[in-house]
Amino acid sequence: MIYFDNSSTTRPDESVLESFIAANMKYYANPASLHVLGREAEALLKRSKEQMLKLIDNESGEVVLTSGGTEANNLAILGIAEAYRSRGNHVITTQIEHPSILNACIKLEEIGFEVDYLAVDAQGLISIEELEKKLRKDTILVSIMHVNNEIGTIQPIRQCAELIKKSSRAVFHSDCVQSFGKLPVSMESLGLDAITVSAHKMNGLKNSGALFLKKNVTPHAINFGGGQENGLRSGTVSVPNAVAMAKAMRMSTIHEDSADYREWRNLLIDACSLYENIRILSPHHGAPHILSISFKSINGEVAVNYFQEHGIIISTSSACSSKNKNAGHVIEAIGLENKFKNGVIRVSFGNTNTKDEIAEFIKVLKSFMELIERGM
């Protein structure tokens, strides 16, 4: 099978699995324990965190290990909003965030916060002018996704950061789950106060994520227990998961030069452009590893099944919404024509793909379009 669903999840790298197993066998003790094995595990945990912080250019800050991107996003939204409520109750995000952001914002509204959702254009881009108008003295948190998981739009994070710092005292968070390891992600150069990362999107392990925080940015805890992770995430810390995530982050930055992905994406765009019944949804200057297209008057599931029958795995949208029969919130937000709304598929590359696989995709696409033109 050719696997083109890497934005949903990636295959774990063998070296990541090896590091996870080795850490489990040797450093299995609880890092909170006072005995020698506990201290050894704690030392390894500290080194792993230091490596992660260095890789994201946040050496003076903090990293909170979580069960994945969803928990990290929840901690960022709910925890930061609650921590800075004395400054105000206004939060800004976008219409095309991951559900772990949007649903957390809905929860904020239920408990008295005011949330503004920035609109996007047909390319999925927010308006800097709208952000400027929405910023207020009582804005305490802005959360804008770096790379959209469904169509690959890259938001102007640095430009947003400069405006936010100039016009408010808001904490600026970004969901970088789809960008880390594919694009350069530096807290310093992007001007971010908080970043979410997930290991299984970069050939790491599922149930491993992290929220990176600038120095002096401290959310309130959203779960309670023994006070691990400086009180921000209670529960016994998995040292092997931390080791494996640090390894995955190191490995992913090696593949950060995405010239191959860009070339492959352009080849697919050229192939799709031959057909009037295909809409290319991903912006031209979007993320190099994501291409979203839609077929006119065809259900995306039909395309997914056809490609699977021919040995190619793709998805209808994001894994979080692929089983939903209705058009997703991102597709609605970009204003896609009705005849194309249900025909969306996403192709996403990873470091196990090859150019030959791109050629095979184009071959299968051609046969699928011929079938459609004959009325299936």
d(CA 113, CA 41): 41
Using a 10 angstrom Cβ sphere, with 0-12 exposed, 13-18 middle and 19 or more buried, the burial of residue 335 is exposed
d(CA 117, CA 131): 10
Residues with a catalytic annotation lie at: 320
CB 107 within 8 A of CB 75: no
Cβ–Cβ contacts within 10 Å for residue 195, how many?
Answer: 31
Structure tokens at 197: 């990362």
d(CA 356, CA 273): 20
DSSP annotation of 277 reads T
Structure tokens at 14: 């063998």
d(CA 35, CA 17): 27
- Only one residue has tokens 């957390």, namely 104
CB 176 within 8 A of CB 148: no
CB 343 within 8 A of CB 295: yes
Buried b (16+ CB within 10 A) or exposed e, 138-154: ebbbbbbbbbbbbbbbb
CB 151 within 8 A of CB 281: yes
d(CA 111, CA 77): 13
